[in-house]
Structure 1
């Protein structure tokens, strides 16, 4: 995140609400609402640093912050762990991807410090590394288990309808009139069994393309296809 203006507070890098919102592809209002709704999960000093009064004005002037914070009652500064909680609240691919970049390219570029001893410095580094590995593991898990959104659900519905109707011979076919319910049931049963979900809306985002591919390749079973062909042959003979 090389385009971010670097802001330090008390020896650690932080982000303002507007910086965090812009990075995550959302608005400061959404960030503030998420914070208000989940305020009991945030710990002052660990996840955020609130600046008020003269301290706030001095900080804004020192860092030349020009994002509307000057008129706010409180200026919130977000630590690395605070950014993690906001990514979790937003739960979008962009937020998770940006969070990983923030960890790698912004928060982890620390200022030169003068530790009391090499042992203390190594212990702190190891502890930090463990925390980062845990957080990244959680990020990968959440990204891998995010369910498809409403637009993707609609796309799967439309693709499934097209595939089944084609298999039946079209909406004007005899098979469509007499067997569409049975064929649709067979399709969704195979679909949910293949992806191991109770309903199609539970498919993870990472498997959306696989779901579309499954629909495109789906064909009725042999016995069901024979039934469809026999129904449609009646239309041909009549």
Structure 2
């Protein structure tokens, strides 16, 4: 994916420069007037955007640098949609792709793992007496913290991949078989490979329903079993213990 605009990542969200977005969209209205108008579409300062000093765009009359705004990705998407132009459509698709990658299970877990590592380091620096306890925080525990921080459900095949990455060798087919044998998934019948009532009561799975239109105009419904964040922690601990 080509980088249309520079974005900034932190552990919570994606942000970018409103001035750079204004330039990319080729807006003829001066930036200050344009952004003021955009901000009136229900956005809140310090939540959707915050004022910053642009160190690159200098004031031609001298003095302080020009004002810029750091805006959230959600705000940028709405602004791009409002423009109703080819440039707006192009950059909005770019933002949607960024968001999809940012919210993928792998990205969410990587951020959670990094946050966990920073927390451990801070505790060790704060009090040397906690070093021994912190050394007990094995990668498995960090991994479980990362998964529990995820609100994204994943496919069973993706769960098998995550378990392998953490040291336990298992493939998608073998994981399906294990879940059926251990009564997490239904073994046969019309609901084959769908969650058992026990699994649903534990909150380990959710079933995604999708309606598909066939070429002849008829429709059919497909059901996809996905593992919840709680289910990911549950099964990973099952295998790693």
TM-score of the aligned structures, taking structure 1 as reference length: 0.37
- As a proportion of its length, which structure holds more helix? 1
In our comparison, the structure showing a higher alpha carbon Rg is: 1
- As a proportion of its length, which structure holds more strand? 2
TM-score of the aligned structures, taking structure 2 as reference length: 0.36
